[in-house]
Amino acid sequence: MTATSKATRDQAHARVFDLDAMSLRELNQALHGLAPGSNETAWEVLNPKGNHSVAVGVDQPVSIDVRGSVGYYCGGMNSGGTITVHGSAGPGVGENMMSGSITVKGDASQYAGATGKGGLLVIEGNASSRCGISMKGIDIVVHGNIGHMSAFMAQSGNLVVLGDAGDALGDSIYEARLFVRGKVDSLGADCIAKEMRPEHLELLQGLLDRAGVTGVKPSEFKRYGSARTLYNFNIDNADAY
Amino acid sequence: MCGIVGLFLKDKSLEPKLGAMLSEMLVSLSDRGPDSAGIAIYGAPSGNEAKITIQSAKPDRDFRDLDTQLAKALGVPVSIAVKSTHAVVRTRPDKIDEAREAIQALRPDIRIMGAGDVVEIYKEVGLPEAVVDRFDVRKMTGTHGIGHTRMATESAVTTMGAHPFSTGADQCLVHNGSLSNHNNVRRELIREGMSFETENDTEVAAAYLSSQMAHGKNLGEALEGTLSDLDGFFTFVVGTKNGFGVVRDPIACKPAVMAETDQYVAFGSEYRALTKLPGIDNARVWEPEPATVYFWEH
């Protein structure tokens, strides 16, 4: 069976939740009630209309297509779900994601993927400020631009930006790799440009492949990361606090 | 939290629906602020009339016979339309300042919500649904308007602490955020001769803009000034007689989303405030950039 026909079959059997007719709580409770190994693997959410917390706390390997734009925290804490937002997402999409993936076909608002520990977040449009703030292992791929203070205090994971980054990229970054193809308005404290070694090119190619990005070469990106000078308190900087 | 909405119509055919559209937008954000709600609507100019919106906790007592007493004091015709705790006083534009003074002299308990050629302001403690019902906002017509649902952080939950704040003719402002230097700015504005009704930080922002515009700046330039002179978190949405502006502080952690079509420009703290607007699916929707002034004028 080809991938297309499997998708078609899943689509035909998708469990449909129309948020004009049902409450968000009914949707999320149905998702949380899924037993491991359930055959209900395809879900469709209609009329999200900017609602908050659509499909938060998913912890089964289901696929969820959200037809429209969502509000805060869509897909928050996702663990294993494949969530696609066919619209734009409000603040905190995929916050604290553990695994699985979230794809936003439109734009994302502030702090997309904040504190995420794993999984893949793809924003096909632009992301806003503080994208990947305090990321802890998540991979984030943004096709467009990201706003200011992105990857602030990032600890682990990868942030890939095909467009430009705003001010103070990677401010107070601990670890985490930032790959930006366009211009960076400014780097935050302790964030520096770093050499692209073969292992980084390979890692980036893998991320681009997983995010469905084609026609873009890893060599077009610059890598940024931590200078690691803030790891220890330096008495010479005491006046700065 | 707090929720803000704003709607600036470009298409005249939508003007009869302004109150209904703005009410819908505001009610959708009720859970961003349960303390009070308010709305400012800019109606079509009537030519030879200006308006003062007044409020009283005892409307039966304070509004009775006020029109005849005011007409006598001013020597020109005065009309009053009462809506619950609010009333709109209409009289000749050149008599507006005199009318304000006469109202305060005749009825010391009355509070003036705002004045100008076109603006009417309705605000009370309570949820947006209750406030728009109470003042029949859905039936109001106009060219543009702003609204606010408040989660009080900086000052008391009172009618006067509700937004919008109006500190100049046909000017008003709604705010999501909190200002940290409002006491200082208030002192400077008082030195300039401005007066304040509340301890509220937002009233200071409104007065700051009025002061800037009184010094000859346009709305856009006045909004630019907030970026250097006001400290704290803010998303401001402001209305003037023929204009509509938006600005966010440089950190921009207070949410904002805008939409524009050939028919309107709309602002909401969240996208869900915009979902019932006509043609929203094909609108240009964007998040306003930090430290960037957006404004439109008719």
Quick check: B290 and A110 CB within 8 A?
no
Strands A99-104 and A120-123, by their bridges, are parallel
> From A50, which residue of chain B is nearest by alpha-carbon distance?
B272
pLDDT tens per residue across span B42-66: 998 878 899 999 999 999 999 999 9
> From A150, which residue of chain B is nearest by alpha-carbon distance?
B251
Quick check: B272 and A128 CB within 8 A?
no
The pLDDT-based confidence of A12 (bands split at 50, 70, 90) is low
Q: How far apart are CA B107 and CA A237, in angstroms?
A: 61
Residue type at position A29: Q
The reply to whether A145 touches chain B by the CB within 8 Å rule is no
Quick check: B275 and A50 CB within 8 A?
yes
Q: What is the pLDDT of residue A155?
A: 98
Structure tokens at A148: 């200011």
Arithmetic mean of pLDDT over chain B: 96
What is the average per-residue pLDDT within B259-272?
Answer: 98
Q: What is the pLDDT of residue A3?
A: 47
Task: Pick the catalytic residue from B2, B22, B172, B293.
Answer: B2
> From A48, which residue of chain B is nearest by alpha-carbon distance?
B272
Structure tokens at A58: 């998913």
Scored b (16 or more CB within 10 A) or e, B166-177 reads bbbbbbbbbbbb
Q: Is B253 a catalytic residue?
A: no
Q: How far apart are CA A4 and CA A53, in angstroms?
A: 30
Strands B111-116 and B86-91, by their bridges, are unpaired
Q: How far apart are CA B215 and CA B261, in angstroms?
A: 33
**Residue bearing tokens 């921009």:** B252
Identify which of B131, B146, B103 has the alpha carbon closest to the alpha carbon of residue B9. B146
Quick check: B270 and A90 CB within 8 A?
yes
The reply to whether A107 touches chain B by the CB within 8 Å rule is yes
The reply to whether A110 touches chain B by the CB within 8 Å rule is yes
Query: What single DSSP character describes residue B93?
Result: G
Scored b (16 or more CB within 10 A) or e, A154-164 reads bbebbbbbbbb
The reply to whether A81 touches chain B by the CB within 8 Å rule is no
Q: What is the pLDDT of residue A118?
A: 98
C-alpha to C-alpha distances, B152 to B33, B36, B176, nearest whole angstrom:
8, 8, 10
Chain A hits for B272, CB-CB cut-off 8 Å, are 49-51, 71
Q: How far apart are CA B248 and CA B294, in angstroms?
A: 10
Q: Which of A47, A53, A111, A129 to mutate to test the interface with B (most CBs of B within 10 A)?
A: A129
What is the average per-residue pLDDT within A172-194?
Answer: 97
pLDDT tens per residue across span B185-229: 999 999 999 999 999 999 999 999 999 999 999 999 999 999 999
Question: At a CB cut-off of 8 Å and minimum separation 6, what does B183 contact?
Answer: none
The reply to whether A84 touches chain B by the CB within 8 Å rule is no
pLDDT tens per residue across span B276-290: 999 999 999 999 999
